[in-house]
Amino acid sequence: MKIAYLVNTYPRASHTFIRREIQALERLGFTVHRFAMRSDRAMLNDPDDKAEDLRTEHVLERGKLSLLAAALGWMLRHPFRAAQAVSAALRMGARACTRNKHLVYLIEAAFLAGRCKDLGIAHLHAHFGTNPATVAHLCRLLGGPRWSFTTHGPEEFDAPVALSLGEKVAGAEFAVAVSSFGRSQLCRWAALEHWPKIKVVHCGIETRHFPAPAPIPPKLRLVAIGRFFEQKGFPLLIEAVAQAARQHPGLHLTLVGDGELRGEIEARIESLTLRRHVTLSGWKTGAQVREELAAAQALILPSFAEGLPVVAMEAMAAGRPVIATAIAGLPELVTPDTGWLVPAGDVGALVSAIGTLAETPPERLASMGVAARYRVFARHNVDTEAGRLALLIRGVTNG
């Protein structure tokens, strides 16, 4: 079966879970065409991401005139569907106060409808309930393939009305959440009659990349991984490290990632004289991330908002306990035998959790790592989760 994936920016260092899901579906016999509006290739370090970039059709790289000509041609050949899609675009744009932007989405959707027909696409799956789902929904109204989408959070749940989540669930064949918490948030905005089509399919890891874990090192070393922006809470983590280092002078944190808050984080490290305790490593390849996890006693996630972060799954698969904030889907993953949950935004709670980690005997940390590994292998094997998604897709395309 030939299907397509639609993502706004792809591939991306923080979107490796999408690549893994696509490749797992291909192992199950699907032919998957990748659509993205744009590429993030200048920021790609991982060879697998670079290879994925070459496999992806980046729509906006065709140029505005080419897109517009193809879209208008499709709409002129399908005038009744075009009228329906224009009405939907204006309605959704009014909710978001971005009618002009939604007319751009309409052009992208009309182009996509033509491409899907040319390629023989049987089903279109969008990742994120933001503009990819908008384009996929309008594409269907324009005569494109049946569609579905995966929501991750927190962006979708921050603006459910502006994103027309209820209308998207109604228009899709099914909607996926990556956690039970995420499903509950979709149910809040979908009509009761559509609740049965809201499913949970976890993001997955490739277990083959996580052989027997390295022994947990004796030194108090933490690793945090993610994009440097507001929802990750990294500036707060720097404050927590500054306080915890007074009691534990050997404490060291490696921050893997980059982003718009890098300058602020660097300034905070300098002002708190933490250069000896904090290393900013930039983005790393998947193999290098696994090396950082092996060198750490635990992963720490100080997030203010999340979906269900894949980095927590990877840390647990590497046999490492996790310190995380008790938000969104994280309590479904991190349990008392696999790590520590703390209130979001609470510096003192982070400091206390770091202290608890420091005082936990090595054998207890090792047993927590074993429990973490068992839990994530059971719940987040990418082939198992892709199998669930495959059943959903086959169910709606064969119906």
Q: What is the 3-state secondary structure (H, E, C) of 121-139?
A: CCEEEEECCCHHHHHHHHH
Return the C-alpha torsion angle 304, 305, 310, 313, nearest 10. Answer: 60
CATH architecture of 2-204+381-397: 3-Layer(aba) Sandwich (3.40)
339-372 pLDDT, tens digit per residue, is: 999 999 999 999 999 999 999 999 999 999 999 9
Q: Read off the tokens for 64.
A: 């505005």
The residue type found at 25 is L
29-85 pLDDT, tens digit per residue, is: 999 999 999 999 998 888 999 999 999 999 999 999 999 999 999 999 999 999 999
How many Cβ atoms from other residues are within 10 Å of residue 267's Cβ? 12
375-393 pLDDT, tens digit per residue, is: 999 999 999 999 999 999 9
89-119 pLDDT, tens digit per residue, is: 999 999 999 999 999 999 999 999 999 999 9
pTM, full prediction = 0.92
Where does CATH 3.40.50.2000 sit in the chain?
A: 2-204+381-397, 209-379
Residue with tokens 């002078």: 249
Q: Read off the tokens for 363.
A: 């054998």
The number of residues making up the chain comes to 399
Topology of the domain covering 209-379? Rossmann fold (3.40.50)
In 215-290, the DSSP E strands lie at 221-225, 252-256, 278-282
| Positive or negative torsion for Cα 363, 365, 370, 374 | positive
Return the C-alpha torsion angle 96, 97, 99, 104, nearest 10. Answer: -60
